[in-house]
Amino acid sequence: MISISATPYDYELPEPGKFALVIIDMQRDFLEPSGFGAVLGNDVSRLQAIVPTLEQLLAAFRSLKLPVIHTLECHQPDLSDCPPAKIKRGHGSLKIGDRGPMGRILIKGEPGNAIIPELEPLPDEIVIYKPGKGAFYSTELEAILQEKGITHLLITGVTTEVCVQTTMREANDRGYECLMIEDATESYFPEFKHVALAMITAQGGIIGWTTTANHVLQALAKLPLGRAGFANN
């Protein structure tokens, strides 16, 4: 068993094939200067700053043929999977389903809803289209993890205190051992990220662990190459 130096204590990595890299909602509308996030007044450069770290992690997982799971927050074009309360929320000038700078906001298949080109999923990687903040709500994620025997999730993406933390909490309640990679997740609000990480690791790791991408990459480098080689599908 390989240990990753983590907070509040070392995280034990199981054998290859039993852990996956989860990349939450790295979609153009949240990250690009002309996207929905920017229209709402958020500083998207904060989120863009984690892209090189995510590229490194993704490259490492791909080179070892380890499972990678991407998620996208999105809804059907007729909004049948979007609760009216979610559409109404915020009193913003743009609502879910409205036409934004890169197509209809949070609608599956629209240009702004795509994952940024730097992290574009490969055909054999798992992509979860999620209508909620958490990746387990109303998706096939749990069935996929069970079918593949994945028990440990290394969680990244945006935004830390919303979709990333919600997913980690959902996973924790279902018995998955979760490690959040702190420099591969980001929020528009630095103080929210800071507190979200503290909440996860409080009380002896009540939701799970946190670590850095370097610690993960160092651990992956120790994997015997012959033991890796688990495809996503």
**What is the rounded distance in angstroms from the CA atom of residue 67 to the CA atom of residue 71?**
13
In this chain, which of 73, 125, 177, 182 binds ligand C5J, going by CB under 6 A?
Answer: 73
Q: Taking CB under 6 A as the rule, does residue 163 contact ligand C5J?
A: yes
Q: Which amino acid makes up residue 197?
A: L
In the complex, the smallest distance separating the C-beta of residue 25 from ligand C5J, rounded to whole angstroms, is: 4
Nearer to ligand C5J, 162 or 181 (CB): 162
Phi-psi region of 171 (alpha: psi -120 to 50; beta: other; left: phi over 0): alpha
Listed in sequence order, the residues at least 6 apart from 106 whose beta carbon sits closer than 8 Å to its beta carbon are: 29, 36, 73, 74, 75, 82, 96, 97, 113
Of 38-46, 48-56, 86-94, 158-166, which segment contacts ligand C5J by CB under 6 A?
A: 158-166
- CA 144 → CA 73, 94, 149, 150, distances in Å? 18, 34, 8, 8
Q: Which of 74, 82, 163, 178 is catalytic?
A: 163
Angle between helices 213-221 and 51-63 (to 10 degrees): 20
Q: How far is the CB of 122 from ligand C5J (least distance, A)?
A: 22
Q: What residue has token string 């998620």?
A: 71
Please count the residues of this chain forming the interface with ligand C5J, following the rule CB under 6 A. Answer: 6
**69 in helix, strand or coil?**
strand
Q: Is there a catalytic annotation at residue 163?
A: yes
25 binds ligand C5J (CB under 6 A): yes
Q: How far is the CB of 71 from ligand C5J (least distance, A)?
A: 8
- Of residues 29, 74, 82, 130, which has the active-site annotation? 130
Residues 26-65: x where in contact with ligand C5J by CB under 6 A, - otherwise, as a string: ----------------------------------------
For residues 58 and 125, give the distance between their C-alpha atoms in angstroms, rounded to a whole number.
11
Q: How far apart are CA 155 and CA 194, in angstroms?
A: 16
* Residue 166 Cβ vs ligand C5J, minimum distance, rounded to whole Å: 8
CA separation for the pair 146, 164 (Å, rounded): 20
* Binding residue (CB under 6 A) for ligand C5J from 31, 60, 153, 162: 162
- Name the residue nearer to ligand C5J (CB basis): 4 or 158: 158
Residue 110 is a binding residue for ligand C5J (CB under 6 A): no
Tell the smallest beta-carbon distance from residue 37 to ligand C5J (Å): 8
- The piece of 83-91, 108-116, 157-165, 197-205 that touches ligand C5J (CB under 6 A) is 157-165
Instruction: Round to whole Å and give the CA distance between 66 and 70.
Output: 13
- Catalytic site residues? 25, 130, 163
| Binding residues vs ligand C5J (CB under 6 A) | 25, 73, 158-159, 162-163
